[in-house]
Amino acid sequence: MTAHISGIDVISPLGLCSEEHWKALLDGCSGLGATRSFDSTRYDNPISGEVRDFDPEELPSRLVPATDRMTQMSLVAAAGAFEDSGIDLDQVDPLGIGVMTASTAGGYAFGQKELQNLWSKGPKYVSTHQSYAWFYAVNTGQISIRHGCQGHSGVIVTDDAGGLDAIALAARRLARGNRIMLTGSVDSTMCPWGRVAHTSTGQLSKSADARAAYLPFDKRAGGWVNGEGGAHLVLQSHADGHYAAVLGHGATVDDPRAGLEAGLSQAIRLALSAARLRPSDISVVFADAAGTRQADHAEATALAEIFGPGSVPVTAPKTATGRMGCGTASLDVAMAALAIRDQTIPPTINVEADESLGINLCGRAAQHHITNVLVLARGVGGFNSALIIGA
């Protein structure tokens, strides 16, 4: 399923492009802080990872009032990824260009605003744009329209695992006819409705200290922080210049009769098999890093089972941004590609790894010989996904 990553663009709490995010990440910066997008004082989860200073000015003015912030960020990142790839889309048959993104539930903030209009004023005050602005496939549709992509396209909904699953599906489409695929995901649920939805899981951090709010693999772990953003990537079957290659993917759903580590272990083994690699061929693991004691223990157990305790470097750069829905794993893949390019493992900030977990967690940016990177992601509902990219 080899596919070359020829273009990347990122939008995150650390930066509005991939290089800005990467530099801030390696410098140990944090994008977490008190929530600004809405009044969060009524909730027990005051810390967020918000994208600062985003202005969708480069988008057509008619499009901005008709789309959610999530879609606006996705459109900007998609355009940046196409530009980074160097592809002249006007010279490519549009039937050979597809879009495959992941989604959680469409535009939360837009949907909340229009539902409030419905409840308080009546149906005639609901925007006609609501019909697609909160639709889970909206980003794929809007990207396709803006760039004239007419090839096989789609969207996948597997919660936080979706970012990896979308990239894997895009790679498979290249083997079935498409020449170019725009993939990845950008997500945002930064509104009261979104916060309540996440709070209902019981896994959101209640800490008011941004430095202690999201501490995966730490004895102090008390949940994760809600973030926004993600990354889009351009995949090609053949590319003269590229960041990395997608080598293998595995996806499973948890069996309630087995432990949480069983499904993740199987997903990793499937990815290794698809890539025709051994565990010793993996240079670094980008962990899912759920930030809860039970889930972190399960992930550490799965890694120890396959690689041996502490034998492979592990990082979770998302501690600097929070978990941004299906955009989280796409951002991890983008950072894994830059890690291969610069032979540098990005840090897991603020965390003091629990030694009992037997995990070799990288707390600082470190130069390292990197050939193949394993990226892990899990989603609510028992979804497990593992993706391997290589130099």
pLDDT category, 1, cuts 50, 70, 90? low
Q: How large a percentage of the chain has pLDDT more than 70?
A: 99
Domains of the chain from N-terminus onward = 3-236 (3.40.47.10), 244-390 (3.40.47.10)
In this prediction, residues 64-73 reach a mean pLDDT of 94
Give dist(CA 324, CA 138) in Å, integer. Answer: 17
Contacts 24+ apart (CB under 8 A), 86-91: 86/6, 86/7, 86/241, 87/6, 87/7, 87/180, 87/234, 87/236, 89/147, 89/148
pTM for this structure? 0.96
**Among 6-10, 256-260, 297-301, where is mean pLDDT lowest?**
256-260
Would you say 185 and 139 are in contact if contact means Cβ atoms under 8 Å apart? yes
pLDDT digits (tens, 9 = 90+) for 220-266: 999 999 999 999 999 998 877 789 999 999 999 998 888 889 999 99
